[in-house]
Chains A and B, each alone.
Chain A
Amino acid sequence: MKLISCAVTALLALAAPALAYDGTNCKAPGNCWEPKPGYPEKVEGSQYDPQHDPAELSKQGDALAAMDHRNAWRIWHMKTTGSFEYDVRKIEGYSETELPKVN
């Protein structure tokens, strides 16, 4: 019986490093990630490097800025005329690069 339990313990001990990341060893508060055994600490340069294209990564931020810009013109138009116009091309003085002048 003792032999068997020793064998089991040994097996578990061997298996443990291969299955280590349990989420409770923290580098700092709120930062408890660890690489799994056999996987890199950093993926950059590894076989798992996602190689993200910075131009792709910036598209969302650009899209939000462009939408906020068009919304600013719509709000300005409604404030100055009292009527709502969605199509910014129909807003007099609309500029793709400049914000409406607020008096």
Chain B
Amino acid sequence: MLMGAPLMAVPALANDKLVELAKDPANWVMTGRDYNAQNYSTMTEINKETVKRLRPAWSFSTGVLHGHEGTPLVVGDKMFIHSPFPNTTFALDLKDPGRIIWQNKPKQNPTARTVACCDVVNRGLAYWPGDDERGALVFRTQLDGHIVAMDAETGETVWMMENADIKVGATLTIAPYVIKDMVIVGSSGAELGVRGYVTAYNVKSGEQVWRSFATGPDEDILLADDFNAPNPHYGQKNLGIETWEGDAWKIGGGTNWGWYAYDPDIDLFYYGSGNPAPWNETMRPGDNKWTMAIWGREATSGKAKFAYQKTPHDEWDYAGVNVMMLSEQEDKEGKMRKLLTHPDRNGIVYTLDRTNGDLISADKMDDTVNWVKEVQLDTGLPVRDPEFGTRMDHKARDICPSAMGYHNQGHDSYDPDRKLFMMGINHICMDWEPFQLPYRAGQFFVGATLDMYPGPKGDRQNALGLGQIKAYNAITGEMAWEKMERFAVWGGTMATAGGLTFYGTLDGFIKARDSDTGDLLWKFKLPSGVIGHPMTYEHEGRQYVAIYYGVGGWPGVGLVFDLADPTAGLGSVGAFKRLKEFTQMGGGVMVFSIDGEGPYSDPNVGEYIPGSPT
């Protein structure tokens, strides 16, 4: 139903109970809901007419503060909830959510906190449905670098492997991602000079299946023999070395801590590699490939079929890890295409043919983007405006977007009926001055001082007007509607067939807008600001909308760590100095339904019965 008519006559290669499970609106089995990563639901019980009756049905506190990113998973009668450090996992019973079925609380070295660049967040869990041999598993990454498999029924740890070493500044905040019988794990730490890599593990044993790096020799990057053959001008062999001076690629960043998408018909998964290290561009001449690239990799082998570098030689920390949303649409010539749409930190929304990497469109998400004049679709090259580049012994001013990007980690949505991408956008610009610094493994390796503030359409005097939400058509490049927000729309969006677009805000609301007009139809004041994306599921015939609250992440570091210097928090403290007037820390899930109906509409549900263990 969401996939549309398949373009290729090849039978689905994926195993793939996850695809089947995702077709049932009762489940939300992965980040982005299904492999298309559209955050879209076909449910219509909650719609433009009924949304004003949306009320909380129940809630759950995770017992920890700090940023709550991502979204819970729902499979059958269970909701799986994750938390920031120490990354405790909970399973709740949807028939009686007052009861915690299991919790798995890891012991982690608290030192892990000191090498997290941008709060101790985590973006979510993954689910593997099980087979004849072994029951279902839930996967978790931990800040201290571990990937853990837990039994979905009992919560017991099945295996736990080391993926990243905090001693060299490598951590994990990304959500794991299950494809076939593998769990894919990304990496974090470019602010500490960590060379990025992505790893696949066997879901049952934890054995490494493959690992690929973002920089260095081609055999490390795992290039397919025909890598970029359809678009040789993107670059092909040996560029992981040639676009760096000397051994700088060994500490070259390119971590991936964003999101994945997967096309089972062609067995390719998609993600973006992050920024090069350090932020000081003068210390690393070259295009710095393959940082800042959109990847199409064969899931089974890990080999890259294509890569397109969005930001050659980054000068602004436009870490290219953002969400990948898949769709099937007619291009301008009327040809049906399998597409991938990706709103990048650098202020450009890229749409590629996901079968071969062809560049279809590259539009500014706001006309105030100034580092680039345009992206040439034929060469794929961004035409830089030298006035807004950065360099040593120079303080660049009024660069848009800022290092926080016009779009960050938020997982957005795509409405296939309206052919619109609902994008949570930032409106932040910056001044930037780099400085020289040495590399010491385990220490920060940034080398730039930043001041950030609202973009031209915001209120610089009062430090407000830092966000936007827009509905975008990837083929025409037009915005169906756009609205300003007080703060950056950091957490992403979710669209439904009810004609609604849901999202949370840093100042503590969940909002529902009309997907056709952008009109605000409903909102609710949550206990704290939101940096995760909404989700929806059906249970016992009723549609629920759930969202995490708990402000934090990069925009929250000033509030979370009580910082006052505007250049602290890698420059975010100044930009978000007003945030504390609207919210404080929190941590939990809030679940909504029409009239707040839910498991406790009958108050006797969950009551104590003498002699019963529950």
Q: Which residues of A pack against B, CB within 8 Å?
A: 19-24, 26, 28-33, 35-36, 39-44, 48, 50-54, 56-61, 63-64, 66-68, 70-71, 74-75, 78-79, 84, 86
Contact = CB atoms under 8 A, between A and B. Distances in A.
Given A29-B236, A60-B441, A67-B162, A24 B383 contact: yes
A19 B246 CA distance: 26
5 contacts: A29-B236, A30-B233, A50-B284, A64-B165, A75-B207
Give me the 7 closest cross-chain CB pairs, A-B, nearest first: A30-B235, A19-B386, A67-B162, A59-B441, A63-B165, A57-B250, A23-B384
B464 to A, nearest CB: 33
A70 B162 contact: yes
A57 B439 contact: yes
B235 A31 contact: yes
A22 B290 CA distance: 19
A89 B132 CA distance: 33
Interface string B138-171: 0000000100000000000111111101011010
A86 B108 CA distance: 13
B506 to A, nearest CB: 34
A36 B248 CA distance: 19
A50 B248 CA distance: 9
Interface string B220-250: 0000000000001111100100110111101
A86 B205 contact: no
Interface of B: 145, 157-163, 165, 167-168, 170, 194-195, 197, 205-208, 232-236, 239, 242-243, 245-248, 250-251, 282-287, 289, 309, 312-313, 376, 379, 381-387, 389, 391-392, 436, 438-441
Given A30-B309, A63-B168, A56 B439 contact: yes
B159 A60 contact: no
A50 B161 CA distance: 34
A71 B167 CA distance: 17
A74 B206 CA distance: 9
A33 B285 contact: yes
A48 B250 contact: no
B312 A23 contact: yes
Contacts, number: 143
Given A23-B381, A57-B250, A74-B161, A43 B386 contact: no
A40 B312 CA distance: 18
Given A39-B392, A50-B439, 5 more contacts: A28-B235, A33-B313, A42-B245, A43-B245, A60-B170
Contact of A32 (B162, B312, B386): B312
Given A31-B287, A39-B282, A21 B384 contact: yes
Nearest to A50: B283
B282 A52 contact: no
A35 B281 CA distance: 11
A67 B235 CA distance: 33
B376 A24 contact: yes
A63 B169 CA distance: 11
Given A60-B250, A64-B165, A74-B206, A33 B243 contact: yes
B389 A21 contact: yes
A50 B376 CA distance: 33
Contacts of A35: 285
A48 B447 CA distance: 12
A26 B233 CA distance: 10
A102 to B, nearest CB: 12
A24 B372 CA distance: 12
A66 B170 CA distance: 14
B282 A19 contact: no
Given A39-B391, A43-B285, A57-B251, A84 B384 contact: no
A78 B250 contact: no
Contacts of A36: 386, 389, 391
B205 A78 contact: yes
Contact of B438 (A23, A51, A60, A78): A51
B27 to A, nearest CB: 28
